[in-house]
Amino acid sequence: MKIKKIYCNGCSHSAGGGLEINRTLKNNTKVVDYYLSKYNIQWENINEILYSTIISNKLNTESVNEAASGGGTERVIRMAYDFVKSNWKNKEELFLILELPSLGRLDLYSSKLNDYIIANLQFKNNDYYDNSINGLYGTRGYYKDEYGNDNLKVVIALKSFYDNFFSKKIYFLNLSRQINTFFGYLKSNKIKYIFFGGEFLPTIDVEYKKYNSLKLKVGKQIINDFHDFAVETNSTIAEECDFLTDDLHPGYFANKNFGNLLFDYIIENYDNL
């Protein structure tokens, strides 16, 4: 086995969402302070405790985590492709961990900002023929810029995009093609990877999901997703913080335990990945 660099991308689950040092509980206690007082655990940077970092530490190798709250599958593929190209000379020493977030997490390029932005649609149901939404959320990370502090202009621009150019069914099919194309690219270039996130699983070619789709055995359960792991093992932030928050993101111990188990899984299945 030759892994020299771990790359991870996904949404808030893989980015440590809810465990940031500025997050607070219902009693205004900081989340990091609660973990310190109850578990004698502390961190100064979120990257210290992510499951991807735990894996890279066990391998004594570099870790790159580009997951972001609200980030979607299109963003994952775009950035993972760029990462592979920038590390092309050592491509066979890379290992990619790819979370494939659900639909509605848009990866859009803003000509005004000269940058990619994250925007989210909240769908009313799981019907791929129904475009109805409960809400549209403006770009993350650019709240205080030429768009205005209230982010109103970007919301208006996104609403126009949604009304005129968006189809949930077509978006799903386009993303499915992108996933299969990228996985084929990784396979043909002998780049090792694993992925999780179940919404796109039915459309992914069998040869890509036979081994590379996560199948982590936890007790009598087979876990296919990090968030499902946190729920199944009662290690969401809410549960780890005695429900002083409603946050169901994976907690500190979810990251720690998932990282350790995923490390063992990677070692055991490396030749087939």
Over residues 85-143, the pLDDT tens digits come to: 999 999 999 999 999 999 999 998 888 778 888 889 999 999 999 999 998 877 666 54
Judgement on whether residues 158 and 26 belong to the same structural domain of the protein: no
User: How many H-runs (helices) and E-runs (strands) does the chain carry?
Assistant: 10, 9
Cα angle for residues 179, 184, 189 (degrees, 5° grid) = 130
Judgement on whether residues 69 and 152 belong to the same structural domain of the protein: no
Assign residue 12 the CATH number of its domain: 3.40.50
Residue 78 lies in a domain: yes
Query: Contact at 8 Å (CB) between 44 and 21?
Result: yes
Give the total number of structural domains in the chain: 2
Judgement on whether residues 191 and 267 belong to the same structural domain of the protein: yes
Over residues 175-208, the pLDDT tens digits come to: 999 999 999 999 999 999 999 987 899 999 999 9
Q: How far apart are CA 121 and CA 21, in angstroms?
A: 27
Has this prediction a pTM greater than 0.85? yes
What's the whole-number mean pLDDT along residues 33-62? Answer: 97
Q: How far apart are CA 139 and CA 157, in angstroms?
A: 11
Closest CA to 50 of 267, 248, 260: 260
172 exposure class (CB count in 10 Å sphere: 0-12, 13-18, 19+): middle
In angstroms, what CA-CA distances link 230 with 103, 234, 254, 255, 258?
Answer: 21, 6, 5, 8, 8
Query: Contact at 8 Å (CB) between 35 and 253?
Result: no
pLDDT given for residue 146 in this prediction: 47
Residue 242 lies in a domain: yes
Q: Which residue shows structure tokens 């299969």?
A: 180
The secondary structure of 32-69 as a DSSP string is: HHHHHHHH----SSGGGG-HHHHHHHHHT-EEEE---T
With left for phi above 0 and alpha for psi between -120 and 50, is residue 165 left, alpha or beta?
Answer: alpha
What's the whole-number mean pLDDT along residues 36-60? Answer: 97
Q: Which residue shows structure tokens 């996933």?
A: 179
Residue 174 lies in a domain: no
Over residues 237-266, the pLDDT tens digits come to: 999 999 999 999 999 999 999 999 999 999
Residue 76 lies in a domain: yes
Closest CA to 51 of 230, 197, 269, 217: 230
Residue 29 identity (one-letter amino acid): T
Judgement on whether residues 94 and 112 belong to the same structural domain of the protein: no
Judgement on whether residues 193 and 266 belong to the same structural domain of the protein: yes
Q: How far apart are CA 109 and CA 107, in angstroms?
A: 7
pLDDT given for residue 111 in this prediction: 82
Residue 175 lies in a domain: no
Domain that holds residue 187: 5-102+181-272
Judgement on whether residues 147 and 205 belong to the same structural domain of the protein: no
241 exposure class (CB count in 10 Å sphere: 0-12, 13-18, 19+): buried
